[in-house]
Structure 1
């Protein structure tokens, strides 16, 4: 039987006492020390060789990993780990939520794991600063909330960084969107259209943004701005990556997305890609789209295309104090295409719609639908191209609105608005 929290701490203290002061052992060295301690303390016991191996792994995970959560991190098909309390640990696997049979011994055990994990990154999380974010060495994002912000006990969430970024071809193969619409979006990226991706939590926005960015011509200079670096544009020769940083407990050292977007514009980018906007940085992103950086892209949380546009307008009004209508017109004139994603009950991520933003007239956004997803009882949804004249299934690549026609339609709308 594996040791509980208190007994495990005794094991760890004994092993730590054997470490050379001031020197951090390698993983292999630490495993040898743990194995020697286990061999010494279990001599003459009834533990089998397999049970001793499990104990060594358990102690190693407690000292170098995330304790009982480490085996979950080592499983490649788990994308998220959610700890509601010591007895409720959930995972997302292949798009579905599952409750595990794991549990921490107590809230103190969970708090200890959180504090030690953040401590390795020189970050403090405690009662006076109970909310913290960090990134693990493998790129996974960790978010922790301690009491009093979480009155029922510590809460922990880990979004795995799998390193897997499906290409647009893979998304088409997975029926995330039809091939014709993938061709259309690739054409729009190459034609330097400003594209915004909306969707709910875990709907695949970053994955889709990453796939779109692959169509940016190689000779262009890209600057990415993210709250936590997730985009993978490896192989690009002219790429600058910027990442925000939360302020320390004394309020210093913070770097906001707004600061980074301002800085990015001084780096002579051809395009600016903002991982996600959810605050005042929306104003800076819209300004970037309007000031000589066409082809920029970003994502945001929204339950529909129209809701996303209104949400962006509200963020602009909050940041700029401009009138509501002026903010909506700014949004309409900045974004060319809006792609909306949804996450189905079975975990599949799908493109629910693609809309061309053609202007703002009569107190409403003018949207021209390029594609809409029609849901059916069939597990494989019917994917359709939508036009004002007809709605027909798309079974193979076919000629649809080109990016050039999209640009012409938008310009004609703007001409009509001019006196």
Structure 2
């Protein structure tokens, strides 16, 4: 492993931009992960990511409270292993539908009522990465020449994604859970 430059301590996500901190740690983590690692062994990969995560925080002299550290790790591991900001929504059995209308407008349906949730994506590109991660294992693709996908997830949930030029608001995604 290469020597790393130690930066000034960060005492909390508020000391700088939380997004910048997350991006910096995530990029360092991705640079350290062995690309040949078998990602189907989720528990093993998660332990490896946790170990590297702790090492990066120590080397970078990043000081966070236990809840902040746990939150940062969960968000980064969801980006690497799961479906990013949607991961927690997909794991919530009380949610029947997830609707993403661009990076800043995420809604859920719970008990027949639609609610806007305080979850956002970094950009349209971030939404596209998550859409690609969802549809690629299904043998589907989405791009400008094929800007619309309807598919079924292995659990039976329906997925619908539409991107520009058909969508005028950027990439949109709906997951109807069953």
- The TM tier, using the shorter chain, reads 0.7 to 0.9
Provide the rounded CA distance (Å) in 2 between the counterparts of 1:109 and 1:35: 23
Identify the residue that residue 27 of structure 1 maps to in structure 2.
42
Match of 1:42 in 2: 57
What is the aligned partner in structure 2 of residue 100 from structure 1?
A: 117
SS at match of 2:175: strand
Q: Separation in 1 of the partners of 2:126 and 2:25?
A: 10
Indicate yes or no: 2:31 matched with 1:18: no
The answer to whether the 8 Å contact 2:150/2:160 transfers is: yes
SS in 1 for 2:76: helix
Provide, for residues 310-331 of structure 1, a one-character-per-residue CA deviation record: whole Å limited to 9, x for no partner.
xxxxxxxxxxxxxxxxxxxxxx
1:114 aligns with 2:131: yes
Count of matched residue positions in the alignment of Structure 1 and Structure 2: 159
> What does 1:26-175 align with in structure 2 at a 5 Å threshold?
26-43=41-58, 44-161=61-178
Relative to structure 1, the CA distance from residue 133 to residue 140 in structure 2 (aligned partners, 3 Å threshold; closer, same or farther) is same
Deviation of 1:33 (Å)? 1.4
8 A contact 1:31–1:56 mirrored in 2? no
Question: Taking structure 2 as the reference length, what is the TM-score of the superposition?
Answer: 0.80
Gaps of 5+ in 2: 1-12
Extract unaligned runs of 5+ from structure 1.
162-419
Shift of residue 7, structure 1, vs aligned partner: 3.9
Between the aligned partners of 1:11 and 1:74, the Cα distance in structure 2 is 27
Q: Are the structure 2 counterparts of residues 132 and 49 from structure 1 closer, same or farther at C-alpha, using a change threshold of 3 Å?
A: same
**Structure 1 position 143, deviation (Å):** 0.7
* 4+ runs deviating over 6 angstroms: none
Q: 1:87 to 1:22 in 2, by over 3 A?
A: closer
Structure 1 Cα separation of the partners of residues 136 and 117 of structure 2: 26
What's the offset of the Cα at 1:71? 0.7
Contact 2:25/2:53 (8 A) holds in 1: no
| More contact order relative to length (CA 8 Å, sep ≥ 6) | 2
After TM superposition, give the deviation of residue 109 of structure 1 in Å. Answer: 1.0
Deviation sequence 1:213-254 (CA, Å, 0-9, x none): xxxxxxxxxxxxxxxxxxxxxxxxxxxxxxxxxxxxxxxxxx
Equivalent position SS for 2:78: helix
The CA deviation at 1:129 is 0.4
Counting strand residues as a fraction of each chain, which structure ranks higher? 1
